[in-house]
Amino acid sequence: MDTWKSINKRLDSLNLKKGIYPFSNKYGIPTIIKQDVKVNKLIPFGKKEKDGTAHFFLDDYAFERVWNTPKKYINTLKQYDNVLSPDFSLYTDYPIAVQIWNTYRNRWLGRYWQSHGIQVIPTVGWSTPESYDFCYLGIEEGSKVAVGSIGILKSDKASKLFNLGINEMVERLHPEKIIFYGEMVKGCKHECCCHPSYAKTNLRGL
């Protein structure tokens, strides 16, 4: 039989004790508040450099810690100009339940950071059209948003799904600006503020 101590510990692993934030959807995905945020340069979370906007277009294992122990990284994230909400993966072969959960974690952390005085731009991800039911939730219309193309250019199918998803995002969210990380995807018809990957930025400086 569960004790109150074990129940509380389990709830804390879901971060429910740290905050249940306002939402306007059936899944309870929190809303990231629209903010007037300027982005000059994107920096991968975890690098020593902090003069810019922290992004999470990385393998999930590289930033899972910000979910597992969110309070621990508040002071680190405050050193950046602002941050993008974390890009937990929505792979097409992931069960829909996992994709909803990763969307929830993206928005929850964004709102949690905002509650600690950190400026946040929501990162948007999607998989197949089936994900459109939830992947754009928790983002206010007219917000600045961030998207990335890491891993998308490997196949025509992935590029097609990306373009379908970004078209749907624009239709639903009417974003003020799209911050694009990585190489532009062929066929994308939307105006984006493009930022090269960190590796390419460094190579250009050699």
Average pLDDT of the residues in 130-144: 98
Where are the chain's structural domains?
4-204
Residue 61 has pLDDT above 70, yes or no: yes
Closest CA to 103 of 88, 91, 92, 115: 88
The predicted model scores a pTM of 0.89
Amino acid at site 56 = F
In angstroms, the Cα distances linking 148 to 46, 84, 168 are: 18, 11, 16
Residue 119 has pLDDT above 60, yes or no: yes
Residue 117 has pLDDT above 90, yes or no: yes
DSSP annotation of 103: H
Region of 8 (left: φ > 0; alpha: ψ -120 to 50; beta: rest) is: alpha
Average pLDDT of the residues in 92-100: 97
In angstroms, the Cα distances linking 24 to 6, 32, 43, 112, 113 are: 31, 11, 31, 17, 19
| Tens-place pLDDT, residues 2-51 | 555 665 665 578 999 999 999 999 999 999 999 999 999 999 999 999 99
Looking up tokens 């009417």, which residue turns up? Answer: 174
For residue 2, the model assigns a pLDDT of: 54
